[in-house]
Amino acid sequence: MAEPKKTPKKRGFYVSMRLLHNKNGRPQERSFFYRYYKLVLWFSLSLYLFISCFIPNNNTHNKPTSLTRTHASNSEATLASRALFESANVTLLQQPTSNPALLKNLKIFVYDLPPKYNTDWLSNERCSNHLFAAEVAIHQALLNSHVRTFDPYEADFFFVPVYVSCNFSVVNGFPAIGHARNLLASAVQVISSEYPFWNRTRGSDHVFVASHDYGACFHTMEDVAIADGIPGFLKKSIILQTFGVNYNHPCQDVDNVVIPPYISPESVRATIENFPVDGRRDIFVFFRGKMEVHPKNVSGRFYSKRVRTAIWRKYNGDRRFYLNRHRFAGYQSEIARSVFCLCPRGWAPWSPRLVESVALGCVPVVIADDIRLPFPTAVNWSEISVRVAEKDVEKLGEILEHVAATNLSVIQKNLWDLRNSRALLFNNRVQEGDATWQVLLSLAQRLDRSYSRGSSVSGESDPDT
C-alpha cells in the first residue's frame, strides 16, 4: 500500500511551486506577484459583473443579470457532458478500450490532513480491509492517480480523507461510529480555516466517503440515523456511500454516489485461483450469516425485516439450500462453489455479499426491496442477478428452480463478464473500469459543480468577451 504523501501544511505551497517558471526567482516575489495577479483578476471580474448588471444585452435580454447567464452556460455544459456520458456508458459496457477522455480531464485535490484523521488508524490492520474500508481504498487510489492535482486552484473536486470506520470497539466487532460526526466536523474546521476552498462553495465541490449502514447519518440503527440526519455541514457536498434506496430517505438527502462495500481484491483473486468462476458448482443456494430465529423488536424494527428469519424457518433442512448461521473464514470458497447466493437485507439493505457473489461468479439473489445498487451504468444488475421481493421470500425455492430451468445460463454468461467484477472492486492503483474509476466517472458527470471550470466555461462561451 502506498504511503500517503507527507506535504507541508502551508496553504498555497504547491501553487507557488507550480507558478515557478524562473528558477532564480525568490519565493516571496512569486508569492507577491501571484497575489497581485489574483487581485487584478478579482477586480476585473467584479468590475465586469458590476457593469454587466447595467448594460442590457440583446442576446440575453431574458436573462437580466450576469449571475443567471453564468448559470445558463453552466447548464449547457452539463447537457453536453451528459450527452458525452451517455454515449460513454454504451462504450463501457460493450468495449473496454482505454478512453481517458471519459474522465474529461477531471482534476482532484486530495487534502493532506493531520494523520489523526486518517493514516494513524491504519496501525490497526483491519482498518484497510473490513467492509467499510472504501474510505481508505479510495483515498489511497486517488493519491496515486493521474487525476490528482497538487494545485488546488485548478482542481474540480476536493477529496477530504477521514477514516471514520476504523475505531473498532472490540477485536472482532464492528467499528464504533459515535465519533464520526465530531471527527468530520473537526476535519472541516481544519480545511475551512487553512484553505479558502471550502468557504468559496460552502463545500459543494468537496467529496467525502460515508461507507456505513446509513451513509452520512452515521448511526447503525435506522430510526436514530434518521433522527440525527446528515450533519448540516455535509449537506452541500458529494457523499460516496454504500447506502442507497429508491425512495426519499433522510440519509441520502444529499448529492450522493452509491459505491460498493469494500472487499479485498487479493482475497477474491486467491479464491478464484482455486475455484474458477466457470468451475463446478455443487451448492444450489448458499447463505451464511446472521439469521435470527426469534428476532427482537428493536424500537419497532426487526433485524432484516424478518426476511432472514423467514428464509431460515422455511429452508433450513431443505437439501437445495446450504444455510449456515456461523462465521467461517473460508466462506468465499463456498460462494465460488454455489449457483445462487442470497443477499438478503440486514439492518440496512446493502450487503458485502453482493460484491463477493459477483466477483466469484455466484448469481446474486437480491432480497432488499427498493435497494439502489452501485454503479448501474457499469453493472447491468438486471442482467446478472435475480431480484426477489421481500414478501416473496417464502417462494424462493420455486423462483430459483424456475430461473435454473429457464435463463440461468444467460444470467451466468452475463455475470461472468469480468467487467462486472472489476467495477465492484477497489484497487490500490486506479485501473480503468474498477470501482475507483467508476467513482471518477460519476464525478466527471458533476463537473457543473467545479468552481474552476464554472468560471472558465462561462468566460469562453460569453459572446461579449
Ligand X SMILES: *[C@@H]1O[C@H](CO)[C@@H](O)[C@H](O)[C@H]1NC(C)=O
Residue ranges in contact with ligand X by CB under 6 A: 86, 89-90, 93, 167, 176, 178-179, 192-193, 196, 199, 297, 299-300, 376-377, 380, 382-383, 402-403, 406-407, 410-411
The least distance separating ligand X from the CB of residue 357, rounded to whole angstroms, comes to: 15
- Of 135 and 334, the one with the shorter C-beta distance to ligand X is 135
Written as nine digits, the cell of 422 is 472489476
- Cα dihedral 257→87→144→129 (10° resolution): 40
The least distance separating ligand X from the CB of residue 93, rounded to whole angstroms, comes to: 6
- Of 311 and 441, the one with the shorter C-beta distance to ligand X is 441
Residue 33 to residue 45: CA distance in whole angstroms = 18
The least distance separating ligand X from the CB of residue 315, rounded to whole angstroms, comes to: 19
Residue 384 to residue 375: CA distance in whole angstroms = 13
Written as nine digits, the cell of 56 is 442590457
- Of 192 and 333, the one with the shorter C-beta distance to ligand X is 192
- Identity at 434, one-letter amino acid code: D
The least distance separating ligand X from the CB of residue 263, rounded to whole angstroms, comes to: 23
The least distance separating ligand X from the CB of residue 128, rounded to whole angstroms, comes to: 17
| DSSP-derived secondary structure for 368-435 | -TTBPPS-TTTS-HHHH-EE--GGGGGGHHHHHHHHHHTTHHHHHHHHTSHHHHHHH---SS--TTSH
- Identity at 358, one-letter amino acid code: V
- Of 78 and 380, the one with the shorter C-beta distance to ligand X is 380
Pairing of strands 283-288, 108-110: unpaired
Strands of 338-344's sheet in order across: 321-324, 283-288, 338-344, 363-367, 386-387
Pairing of strands 297-298, 283-288: unpaired
- Of 188 and 323, the one with the shorter C-beta distance to ligand X is 188
The β-bridge partners of 19 are none
* Residue 163 and residue 133 in contact, taking contact as beta carbons nearer than 8 Å: no
- Of 259 and 268, the one with the shorter C-beta distance to ligand X is 259
- Of 411 and 425, the one with the shorter C-beta distance to ligand X is 411
**Nearest residue to ligand X, by Cβ distance, number only:** 178
The least distance separating ligand X from the CB of residue 169, rounded to whole angstroms, comes to: 7
The least distance separating ligand X from the CB of residue 428, rounded to whole angstroms, comes to: 26
